[in-house]
Amino acid sequence: MFKTTADPADCEVRSVIRFLNAKIVKPAEIHRQLVEVYGENVMTAGIIRKWVRQFNDGRTNVPDEARSGRPSVVNDDLVAKVNEKIRENRRFAIRMICDEFPQISKTVLHEIVTNRLNYRRLCSRWVRKCLRMSTKRSDLAVL
C-alpha cells in the first residue's frame, strides 16, 4: 500500500497540508492521509484545521514564524556585578551569591559564573577556565 515515514519534519507535513488544501481536500481527509503515510504521531486534526485556516487566509510560507520567547535577565551589568562579587571572595558557593542577588535564580547565577565568566571550581576556589598571562596577573593581584 503506502510506505510509512517516521519522524517527518514539520515543514514537510505543512507543505503536504498546503498542497492538499490547494486541491480542496477537507481537513479531516488531510488528517486521515497524513496518518496513513506518517503514522499516528503526526499532527492532530485540530492543528491541521488551524493550518488549513491560515492557508485559506492567505498565508503562503510553511516554516514557523519567529517568536520572541522569554526575555533574558542576564545582561552585561549583572555579569559585571557577579564578577565583582567573585573577585571579592574566591571561596564562595553559588548559594552565597544567591544571597547577594535574591531576585536571580541559582541556576541563572551558575550559568553566569560558568558560561559567561568562564570560572570553574578548583580546590574550593573559583578560577578562570582559560588562564592567560594577563588574566593570571590580574587574578593574582586580587588575591
47-73 pLDDT, tens digit per residue, is 999 999 999 999 989 987 877 777 778
pLDDT score at 80: 92
Taking residues 112-133, what's their average pLDDT?
A: 73
Q: Are residues 81 and 50 in the same domain?
A: no
pLDDT digits (tens, 9 = 90+) for 85-101: 888 887 778 888 888 88
Q: Are residues 53 and 81 in the same domain?
A: no
Establish if 130 belongs to a structural domain. no
- Report which secondary-structure segment, H or E, holds 120: strand 119-122
More confident residue, 124 or 53: 53
Which CATH number goes with the domain that contains 38?
A: 1.10.10
8 A C-beta contact, residue 13 and residue 36: no
pLDDT digits (tens, 9 = 90+) for 12-25: 999 999 999 999 99
Instruction: List all residues 6 or more positions away from 24 whose beta carbon is below 8 Å from its beta carbon.
Output: none
- The structural domain count of the chain equals 2
Q: Tell me what percent of the residues of the chain surpass a pLDDT of 90.
A: 31
Establish if 97 belongs to a structural domain. yes
Query: pTM above the 0.75 mark?
Result: no
Residue 103 has pLDDT above 80, yes or no: yes
Q: Are residues 83 and 48 in the same domain?
A: no
Structural domain boundaries, residue 24? 10-57
C-alpha cell at 10: 514539520
